[in-house]
């Protein structure tokens, strides 16, 4: 896996569990150019609105008020080509269908495997180049 292609990429990671953020932040800061972190869909959307140079969005599905699907739908209304990955502890068929309708690139199950996540992002970029 060629993670060097991620060095100039900016990522938005939205997760309501601070322990998950704390675990992934140091890895992401080594791999990506800029890492934007959020604990809610509303805040994640606001970060994206202010930083439309974000190259990839990774979000938890279930969060209070605005879930990951609604956040990504709003992001795609702003910048449709923004790729996203949805994470969930549940293999919820309805959410999977909605994720497909919205255009979410990948649906990953928790617990999150960072290597699998990075591979998915690298694969997406390689396919687009």
Q: What single DSSP character describes residue 112?
A: P
pLDDT truncated to tens, each residue of the chain (129 aa)?
A: 789 999 999 999 999 999 999 999 999 999 999 999 999 999 999 999 999 899 999 999 999 999 999 999 999 999 999 999 999 988 788 988 999 999 999 999 999 899 999 999 999 999 987
Least Cα distance to 70 among 50, 95, 92 occurs for: 95
pTM score, whole prediction: 0.96
d(CA 128, CA 91): 27
Domains of the chain (ranges plus CATH)? 3-128 (3.40.50.2300)
């Amino acid at each position: 896996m060629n993670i060097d292609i991620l060095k100039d990429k900016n990522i938005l990671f939205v997760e309501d569990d601070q322990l998950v953020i704390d675990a992934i932040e140091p890895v992401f800061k080594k791999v990506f150019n800029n890492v934007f972190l959020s604990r809610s869909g509303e805040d994640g959307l606001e970060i994206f609105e202010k930083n439309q140079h974000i190259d990839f969005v990774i979000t938890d599905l279930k969060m209070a008020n605005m879930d990951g699907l609604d956040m990504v739908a709003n992001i795609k209304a702003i910048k449709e080509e923004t790729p996203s990955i949805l994470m969930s502890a549940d293999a919820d068929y309805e959410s999977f269908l909605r994720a497909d309708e919205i255009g979410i690139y990948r649906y990953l199950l928790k617990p999150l495997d960072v290597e699998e996540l990075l591979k998915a992002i690298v694969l997406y970029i390689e396919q687009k180049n």
